Structure 1
Amino acid sequence: MSSRTTTSAASVEEVTVTGEPKLRGKLRFRAVVRKVFANLYWLTETEEEEIDETDQQKILALKRKRGKKGTLSLQDVQKKLAEVTYLHCYGPGRVVVKQEGLPTGIYFMLSGKAGITQSAIDPVSNEPVIIPAGDLEPGDVFGEISLIHDIPRTATVTTYRTCELLHIEKKDFDKVIEETIKPDWDMCKYAMARFPYFDEWSSVALHECCMLSRIKTYEPNETILACGARTNYVFFVLKGLCQIIQHLNIIVKETKKDHQRCRLQTFGTGIQPGEIGQTHFMQICILSELATFGLGENLTDRRIIALTPVECLLCPRYWIMQNNKANLWVRIKRFVDRRLPSTQQVFHSFVENRRWRHYSRDLVIDSLRNRYIPNDTSISDVPYSIRISEYYVDR
Structure 2
Amino acid sequence: MTSNIRTGGSKKEIDPEEIMKRKFRAKCRFKAIGRLAMANTYWLIEAAEQYEGVEDVKRRVAQAVRGKAKKKRLLGINDKALLNKDAHERSDFEKKYIYRIIGGLKCFKRYPNHVKKKLAAVTYFRYYGPNRVIVRQHHEAHALYFIVTGDVMVSQMVFDELLQQNVSVDIGVMHPGDMFGEVSLLHNIPRTATCTTVGHCELLALMQEDFKNVLQASVQKQWDEVRRAMSAFTYFDALDEVARREGCIVAKMKAYNRNETILGDGMGIPNFVYFILSGQCQMIETLQIAVTQRLGHTSYVLYDPYIPKQESDQDIDAKYFQAYKKGREGQSEDATLLSSSMQVTSSAKGTETIKKPSSELSKQKRSGSIKRDSIVTIQEEKETEASTTGTPAPAPILEDEVPAEVQEGAEEQEGILREASVKSAVLMQPSEQHRESVRFSIQHPIMPPPNLKTYFMQVCLFYPGSTFGFGENMRDRRIIALTPVDCMLMPKIWLLQRNTANIWSRIEHYLEKKIPSKKQLFQEFVAERRWQEFREQLVADVVARSKTVNLTSVHDVPYSIRMEEMLDI
The TM-score bracket by the shorter chain reads 0.5 to 0.7
Supply the distance in 1 between the matched residues of 2:113 and 2:245 (Cα, whole angstroms): 20
The equivalences for 1:200-211 within 5 A come to 200-211=238-249
1:217 to 237, 252, 255: 255
Equivalent position of 2:302 in the other structure: 264
Supply the distance in 1 between the matched residues of 2:145 and 2:253 (Cα, whole angstroms): 29
The equivalences for 1:98-109 within 5 A come to 103-105=141-143
Judging changes above 3 Å, is the alpha-carbon distance between structure 1 residues 22 and 310 closer, same or farther for their aligned structure 2 residues?
A: closer
Structure holding more helix per residue = 2
1:205 deviates by 2.3
Equivalent position of 1:197 in the other structure: 235
Equivalent position of 1:370 in the other structure: 545
1:344 deviates by 0.3
1:80 deviates by 2.4
Alpha-carbon contact 2:186-2:216 (below 8 Å) kept: no
Alpha-carbon contact 2:122-2:206 (below 8 Å) kept: no
The equivalences for 1:26-65 within 5 A come to 26-28=31-33
Percent identity between matched residues is 35
1:184 deviates by 2.0
2:481 to 306, 315, 318: 306
Given residue 297 of structure 1, which amino acid in structure 2 is its aligned partner? E
Q: CA RMSD in A?
A: 5.1
Judging changes above 3 Å, is the alpha-carbon distance between structure 1 residues 205 and 77 closer, same or farther for their aligned structure 2 residues?
A: farther
Given residue 465 of structure 2, which amino acid in structure 1 is its aligned partner? L
Structure 1 unaligned regions, length at least 5: 1-15, 44-58, 88-95, 109-115, 123-128, 158-164, 374-395
Aligned residue pairs: how many?
300
Given residue 255 of structure 2, which amino acid in structure 1 is its aligned partner? T
Equivalent position of 1:355 in the other structure: 530
TM-score using structure 2 length: 0.43
Alignment deviations for residues 86-139 of structure 1 (CA, whole Å, 9 cap, x no partner):
98xxxxxxxx9999776555699xxxxxxx999x9x9xxxxxx997969xxxx9
- 1:252 equivalenced with 2:284 (yes/no): no
Judging changes above 3 Å, is the alpha-carbon distance between structure 1 residues 18 and 323 closer, same or farther for their aligned structure 2 residues?
A: farther
Alpha-carbon contact 1:117-1:131 (below 8 Å) kept: no
Q: Secondary structure at the match of 1:181?
A: helix
Structure holding more strand per residue = 1
Alpha-carbon contact 1:71-1:180 (below 8 Å) kept: no
Equivalent position of 2:223 in the other structure: 185
Alpha-carbon contact 1:242-1:286 (below 8 Å) kept: yes
Alpha-carbon contact 1:117-1:130 (below 8 Å) kept: no
2:470 to 274, 281, 295: 295
Alpha-carbon contact 1:228-1:302 (below 8 Å) kept: no
Equivalent position of 1:320 in the other structure: 495
- Which structure is richer in relative contact order (CA contacts within 8 A, separation 6 or more)? 2
Structure 2 unaligned regions, length at least 5: 1-20, 48-75, 82-96, 127-133, 147-154, 196-202, 307-445, 549-569
Given residue 493 of structure 2, which amino acid in structure 1 is its aligned partner? Y
Alpha-carbon contact 1:149-1:204 (below 8 Å) kept: no
- 1:226 equivalenced with 2:260 (yes/no): no
1:188 deviates by 1.6
1:203 deviates by 2.0
Supply the distance in 2 between the matched residues of 1:280 and 1:170 (Cα, whole angstroms): 57
Q: Secondary structure at the match of 2:215?
A: helix
The equivalences for 1:265-284 within 5 A come to 265-267=303-305, 270-272=447-449, 275-284=450-459
Supply the distance in 1 between the matched residues of 2:259 and 2:547 (Cα, whole angstroms): 49
1:248 deviates by 0.9
Supply the distance in 1 between the matched residues of 2:285 and 2:78 (Cα, whole angstroms): 61
Q: Secondary structure at the match of 2:455?
A: strand
Alpha-carbon contact 1:86-1:168 (below 8 Å) kept: no
Given residue 27 of structure 1, which amino acid in structure 2 is its aligned partner? A
Q: Which structure would you say has the larger Rg?
A: 2
Alignment deviations for residues 53-89 of structure 1 (CA, whole Å, 9 cap, x no partner):
xxxxxx9xx8xx99xxx961699669828825598xx
Alignment deviations for residues 250-303 of structure 1 (CA, whole Å, 9 cap, x no partner):
011221x1222111111166434xx30101111121111111111111122111
Alpha-carbon contact 1:235-1:292 (below 8 Å) kept: yes
Judging changes above 3 Å, is the alpha-carbon distance between structure 1 residues 18 and 279 closer, same or farther for their aligned structure 2 residues?
A: farther
TM-score using structure 1 length: 0.59
Supply the distance in 1 between the matched residues of 2:269 and 2:192 (Cα, whole angstroms): 34
Alpha-carbon contact 1:238-1:289 (below 8 Å) kept: yes
Supply the distance in 2 between the matched residues of 1:357 and 1:18 (Cα, whole angstroms): 97
Alignment deviations for residues 165-192 of structure 1 (CA, whole Å, 9 cap, x no partner):
9986533334443144332222122111
2:282 to 243, 247, 252: 243
